[in-house]
């Protein structure tokens, strides 16, 4: 388990000496060049790349004034991510197990947790559940290894504000940066492939009957929230005022008995009230 305050390993230029590229702009396979990175069954990091530097600056801005705990089952990934310049200043703890992660959250009270589903011991989704109870205001982002509907639904029900697949990292979709930006700003991040798997194939008998049906406009707003849109963007998209958006969000939360926007979006998907591809 890592506690903040220990020196990192940097090179002579002050940059971190070892970086895994999974969170950075991606490159296509087959030996081609893209945005300063070259891929030929591996990735070559080019510090002079403008896009790479812009990504680092964006990450630094996202992490500014944040208190972050990182829990990855793979030690190399954990070390690489924790020693990156944008991360180190905000990191208050890092671990590889569920129990250590819970302990770090209880002692350090972070506002952002990033974890993987597979841990050295324990389970990342169980970690989310415990953190949501211990620190309800902490934003939660999880990287899933297994790409199944059951795992996606389990992660979302556990309270994840952002869910991405490990396979999407380095795919060119900017998943990690997009997820960090959304979650750090209090929004949800469920990309299309996640939303598609979040909708049960058949009606879930465990879901209680709704106290009142959502109106079509409330469903529209819930769908936009599930896609990660902010209130101002939803208002512009639907041609209504931001105050009206807030009213629809509040009504939908009440009808779905959701504690926050994230749970509202998850429940709307689970009830099949919104189109996951909208």
Higher pLDDT, 115 or 23: 115
| Per-residue pLDDT at 112 | 92
Instruction: Give the range with max mean pLDDT: 9-13, 133-137, 274-278.
Output: 133-137
| Per-residue pLDDT at 206 | 76
**pTM, to two decimals:** 0.73
CA atoms of 28 and 34, how far apart (whole Å): 7
- Whether 4 and 93 have beta carbons less than 8 Å apart is answered as yes
* Alpha helical stretches, state H, the chain: 50-63, 75-82, 85-88, 98-108, 124-134, 149-157, 175-184, 192-198, 216-226, 231-238, 242-256, 261-270
Q: 11: Cβ–Cβ under 8 A, 6 or more apart, which residues? A: 17
Domains, in order of start, for the chain: 2-198 (3.40.50.2300), 200-278 (1.10.10.10)
152 CB burial (10 A radius; 0-12, 13-18, 19+): buried
In angstroms and rounded to an integer, the radius of gyration of the C-alpha atoms of the chain is 19
Phi-psi region of 23 (alpha: psi -120 to 50; beta: other; left: phi over 0): alpha
Rounding to the nearest 10 degrees, give the CA dihedral for residues 218, 225, 72, 34: 150
Indicate the average pLDDT of the chain.
80
Q: For a pLDDT cut of 90, what percent of the chain falls above it?
A: 47
| Per-residue pLDDT at 10 | 33
DSSP one-letter code for 160 = -
For residue 68, which phi and psi values (nearest 5 degrees)?
A: -120, 140
* Tokens standing for residue 145: 């290894």
* Tokens standing for residue 185: 């700003």
Going by pLDDT thresholds of 50, 70 and 90, the confidence category of residue 153 is very high
| Per-residue pLDDT at 22 | 38
β-pairing, 37-39 vs 33-34, is: antiparallel
């Amino acid at each position: 388990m890592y506690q903040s305050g220990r020196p990192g390993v940097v090179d002579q230029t002050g940059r971190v000496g070892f970086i895994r590229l999974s969170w950075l702009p991606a490159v296509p396979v087959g030996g081609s060049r893209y945005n300063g990175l070259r891929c030929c069954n591996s990735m070559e990091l080019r510090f002079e790349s403008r896009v790479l530097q812009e990504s680092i600056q964006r990450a630094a801005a996202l992490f500014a004034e944040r208190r972050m705990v990182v829990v990855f089952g793979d030690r190399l990934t954990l070390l690489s991510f924790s020693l990156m310049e944008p991360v180190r200043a905000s990191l208050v703890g890092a671990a590889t197990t569920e129990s250590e992660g819970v302990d770090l959250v209880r002692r350090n009270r972070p506002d952002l947790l990033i974890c993987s589903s597979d841990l050295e011991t324990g389970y990342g989704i169980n970690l989310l559940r415990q953190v949501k109870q211990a620190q309800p205001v902490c934003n939660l982002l999880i990287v899933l290894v297994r790409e199944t509907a059951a795992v996606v639904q389990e992660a979302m029900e556990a309270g994840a504000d952002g869910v991405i697949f490990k396979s999407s990292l380095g795919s060119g979709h900017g998943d990690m940066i997009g997820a960090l930006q959304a979650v750090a700003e209090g929004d949800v991040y469920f990309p299309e492939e996640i939303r598609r798997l979040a909708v049960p194939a058949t009606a879930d008998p465990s879901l209680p009957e709704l106290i009142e049906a959502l109106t079509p406009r409330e469903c529209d707003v819930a769908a936009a929230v599930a896609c990660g849109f902010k209130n101002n963007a939803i208002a512009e998209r639907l041609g209504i005022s931001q105050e009206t958006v807030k009213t629809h969000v509040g009504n939908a939360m009440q009808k779905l008995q959701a504690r926050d926007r994230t749970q509202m979006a998850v429940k709307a998907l689970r009830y099949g009230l919104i189109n996951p591809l909208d």
